[in-house]
Each structure stands twice: as structure tokens, then as C-alpha cells.
A = this chain, B = another copy of it.
Amino acid sequence: MNDEVKCAKPECDRFTAINELARRRGFFWPSFEIYGGSGGFVTYGPLGTRLKQNIEAKLRELFVKKIGIYEMESSVIAPGKVFEASGHVDHFKEPMVECQNCRGRFRADHLLEEKADISSAEAEKMSLTEIKEEIERHGILCPDCGGKFGELQRFLTMFETTIGPYSGAVGYGRPEAAQNIFVEFNRLYTVARERLPFGVIQIGHALRNEISPRQGLIRLREFTIADLEFFFDPQEPCCHLLKEVENEVLPILLCETRLKECEDTTDLTVREALDRKIIRSEWQVFFMAMAKKLLIELGVPAEKQRFIEKLTWEKAHYSSQSFDQEVLVDRWGWIEVSGHAYRTDYDLSCHMKASGVDMSVYKEYANPVEKEELVVKPIMAKLGPVYKNEASKVAALLAKVPVQEVADAMQKQGYFMVENYEIKTDQVDISRQKTIVRGTRFIPHVVEPSFGSDRLFYVALEYAYGIKDNRVVMSFPRSIAPVQVGVYPLMSKDGLDTKASEVQRLLANEGFMVEFDETGSIGRRYARADEAGVQLGITIDYETLSDDTVTIRDRDSWQQVRCAIKDLPKQLHKYFEGKVNFEQLGSIIKS
């Protein structure tokens, strides 16, 4: 059988080791292998699915349960109009070259990075002509066949389809979950009872039709994204939760440092980053601090995290200021796990313009404001005799012209032309009037933290990976362990198996994720469980039959305690809620 525990191979890198373990134990593997595979698609097996769900549950716990962010769920497919308005149809493109010999197609910027040492940040600044020149200058040839490359083009990396039976109805697979939130803003604002600030998160599948995906879980064509759009009044940008994170230190690789071709991060507290105006939005820095906390809870220590400030030409088309949260991994160096963009009112404005639907919100002033305004009133008694039955049309046309324009023309030349009607000074009444303004309409601003679930999953795996006594132990934080409890009868006889089944059922009914294993020696079962990241192992032995106690074993320390079965539910709930430590689960067994 293939589930044998393999010896740890310290000679290979963690990416290789994890991919091997992931396939063998069913964390994940490349999809559609029986059909030769299809790059960029991945299948999460039973252990992986649970781990991924636990990570997504963490996002919900941190954002939905604890700070009251709303969650929504909408469709992966959306009508073309949505992504035309959002700018994706124009901007969501990558430079692509085709080999003239084998017709293989490649990301041109990736080739420059690999073969000419030109960073993707550099390549993003370049025009197609410049990229082509660099490819020729460095003599880059097709990595598959050595052929010469032809012309470059920009390839739209959205999946395109048709909605319904009419060929004209273009639809796209969403490249981000954010647009579903923007297009539904008016309904969401109603649900939020028309009060700002509020946030909405959507966690779901998204699609990017990558030209040539590689790097396993790091670059997928179908992946899970968690986009959180936080709407606030730009005139009231304060974050009332800031105090909770004010002294959190964020290691930031600043633009100014990057432009010196240096990789040193600057440690700044949340407060300092704001005071020094390095991060412009309080909400943005709040979510960055939360993202750091999240990664720590997934097992990535603070010193393996950093934030990188994006250069002007690296930022997405919708962003006014962007930071990427990165985690250091063995094979790939620093990889992005979340992006933090200040999207301003860009998206809502785009959709307002494209749809014609008002998405501004009304704000009542605390104190009504008195405003003096210039007013132009047509004097109908004068217009009437001149324009007859056209008079009211002329008045209506006049009402559409900016008031100042009319006033200026009158003063300068004594008349004003609206279409081909000449309005004279005596035909209008121009005066300054006082009005009481009770409120105003504005478009909310948006700060967006966006997490890649598959990458969070990958870094959680890599940071859980450890070797003990020449065997792999997956030391997940206990709140995300894919299996909470393994239940093992010492032998499959003498009633130990029946008793173990009872314990399994008891714990499953209490809501724990439990696995039962009765195959092989108890040592082999522990080893198999360690490799799968099973947090605790409960062994039913002959002593159990006489005194109803069991042994609980800790995955990481291999320590054991003895606990009464009747106390298990309560004790384990406390343990997994983080209220007690392993040693408090029972009396310690000296080994």
C-alpha cells in the first residue's frame, strides 16, 4: 500500500518534500492526471480539504465573528459588462510570445526573469516593443524546442464563455471575488442599515487563465480567494479598532529602499507607519496588522513575514496604494499570501458610470450648513414675448448650464448663447441666495485585504513540516489541525475495538474531527498520524477495560497523559479552544 510512512529526506527541498507527502497522504495533487493533467488545477484530498476549510474558518473567525464583517456568496461566472466596467477586460492581460517552431506559448515577463535576470517589477514597466528587444538582445529561445520567438501580444487572462443560448452574451470567470461585492453595493449597504463603515468578505473560487502555470499551489488557474472590501467615508477615515493593533510591528520593505535595489525591511509600528504617512489609511494598516496575526495563527512566525510596498507601475489598475504580505518559503523565496490595496472609490465609480445606477451614499451633516449660491432665474415675462412657445424649452436649456458660466458671459459680453438662442441680461435674474444644506452624497472609499487561500494553505503546510527521529511530523497549530483526534484500539480484539468505536462515536457526536485506525502496530499508527498532523492520539488499552481511562498522546512532544473517558468531551473542548495545555488533560505518564 502507498500510505506507508516514508523516511524523511533531508536532502530534498521542502517544496519537493511537501508535494511528495501531499500526494501520498492526500493533502493535494495535480488534477486530471489520468488525462495527462491540466496545468494550474489542483485537487484537495480529504486531509487537505479539512486543512483548507480550517484556514478559511480562521478568516471567518477573525473577520466575520470577531469584528462583524459581513460575508456574501455570489457566482464565479459574471456577465461581460461587469469586467468591462471594472477595467479587467482592458488591463487583465499578460505579455505572451509564441515559438515560431513548436508554437509553444510563454509568459514573456517570466522568460525575462529566468533568462535575462530582469525582475517582474521591471518587466511590468516595459512596452511590448521593449520586451521584444530584450528577448532578442539576450538571445532567449523557446525553452521547449530552442526555436525562435515570433511577435508578442497581450493575452487576456480571464476565462471567457457564453451565458445562455445567445452567442453575443459574453461571460467571464471572475479573476477576483471583489467585483461581486461592488456590483451588489446598494443591496449590501441596505443590509448594513445604511451606515458606514462596513466590510464585506467573499471567500470563493476564482479563475485566471494563466498562460503557462507552474509552481504547484503557488500559481493556479483555479484557486480560492478571500476578498474583503471595507467601505468607509473618506472624510471620516478613522479606524475605531486601531488601538488593538497600534503597537504591532510591521516589517515593511519600502519603495524608497526597493528603488536602491536593497531588500532591507524597516520595522514600523502601526502607529509609526501612520504618523510617518507611509501607510495612508488607518483601515488599511489595521487589516495589515490583522493579516500578520492571521499568519502567526497559521504557524508562520513574525520574522518569516514582511510587507512589500508596491511601486507605481506594479500596482493593479484600481489601486492608489498597495502592499503585499509575503512569507519566506524554501524553494521560492518570498511569496505573496495577501495583498492590501487602497482601491479608493475607483470600482464603485466605474460601475456607476457603466450602469448609470447611483451608488453614492447620503450623509446628513451633524449641523446643517448655510451656503450662499449663485442662482440664475429666467424671467418668463421677458422670455415669453421673444421666444413664444419655445420659451420654456429655452428656460430648460438654461437650467442645464453651470450658473457661473452664465453669470460670467453676462458680465463680459452682456448676453449668453445657449444652443443658438441669445439670452440677454434683462431676460434673467442673477442673484446670490442662501440655502440650508442638510447633507451631501459621496462615493465610499474602499480598502481591500485579499488573501489567497491556496497560498495560505501552502505556507501552513511548509511551516508545519518538521522532522523528528528521522520521521516527518506535521506540527499544525492545534486550531487548524485537519484531524483533531485519532482513536486507536491497542489490539483489534478482546473488546478493545468495540470500546474504541464507542469513544470514536462519543467524540464525533461532540463535533470533533475524529479518525479511527486499527491497522498495524500502535507505533506505526502514531507515525502515520504524526505525518497527517493528527493533533492528539487516544489509545484504548487493557487498562481502559478495567478503569475507563485512556492514554492521550501529543503529536509534537510525544508526551502521554491518562484521562477518564467521561472527562474527554469537556477536556478536549477546552484544549481545542486553547483554554488548557496538553499537560492539563490528565496525569502525565512517565516514559
Q: A: which residues have CB within 8 A of B?
A: 1-3, 23-26, 29, 31-35, 38-50, 52, 61, 65-66, 68, 70-79, 81-82, 96, 105, 155, 159-166, 171, 173, 180, 183-184, 186-188, 190-191, 193-194, 200, 204-205, 207, 209-212, 221-222, 351, 354-355, 357, 359, 508-509, 511-514, 516, 519, 577
Contact = CB atoms under 8 A, between A and B. Distances in A.
Most B CB atoms within 10 A — which of A186, A210, A508?
A: A508
B191 A351 contact: no
B81 A26 contact: no
29 contacts: A1-B193, A1-B194, A2-B194, A25-B191, A31-B75, A33-B184, A35-B354, A38-B163, A40-B164, A41-B74, A41-B77, A43-B72, A43-B74, A45-B72, A45-B187, A45-B191, A46-B70, A47-B191, A49-B72, A65-B513, A65-B514, A66-B508, A66-B509, A76-B76, A105-B166, A160-B161, A164-B212, A165-B212, A205-B205
Nearest to A77: B222
Given A96-B165, A164-B209, A188-B45, A159 B65 contact: no
Contacts of A355: 34-35
B41 A211 contact: no
Contacts of A161: 159-161, 173
B66 A187 contact: no
Q: Which 9 A-B pairs have the closest CB atoms?
A: A26-B191, A46-B70, A75-B222, A34-B355, A43-B74, A44-B73, A105-B165, A34-B357, A41-B75
A190 B222 contact: no
Nearest to A528: B193
Contacts of A66: 508-509
Q: How many identical chains are in the complex?
A: 2
Contacts of A23: 187
Contacts of A159: 77, 161-163, 171
Contact of A155 (B44, B73, B165, B193): B165
A240 B161 CA distance: 46
Provide the main secondary structure of the chain A interface. mixed
A172 to B, nearest CB: 9
Given A31-B183, A32-B183, A65-B511, 6 more contacts: A65-B508, A75-B222, A77-B207, A105-B164, A160-B161, A205-B205
Nearest to A512: B65
A205 B273 CA distance: 41
Given A161-B173, A205-B75, A35 B155 contact: no
A188 B204 CA distance: 24
A175 to B, nearest CB: 13
Contact of A43 (B76, B184, B222, B509): B184
Contacts of A514: 65
A287 to B, nearest CB: 18
B221 A163 contact: yes
B516 A1 contact: no
A44 B74 contact: yes
A155 to B, nearest CB: 6
B49 A71 contact: yes
A186 B556 CA distance: 31
A68 B486 CA distance: 13
A274 B523 CA distance: 43
A183 B355 CA distance: 42
A31 B161 CA distance: 18
B164 A210 contact: yes
Contact of A188 (B26, B164, B171): B26
A31 B74 contact: yes
Contacts of A351: 34
Nearest to A38: B79
A200 B52 CA distance: 17
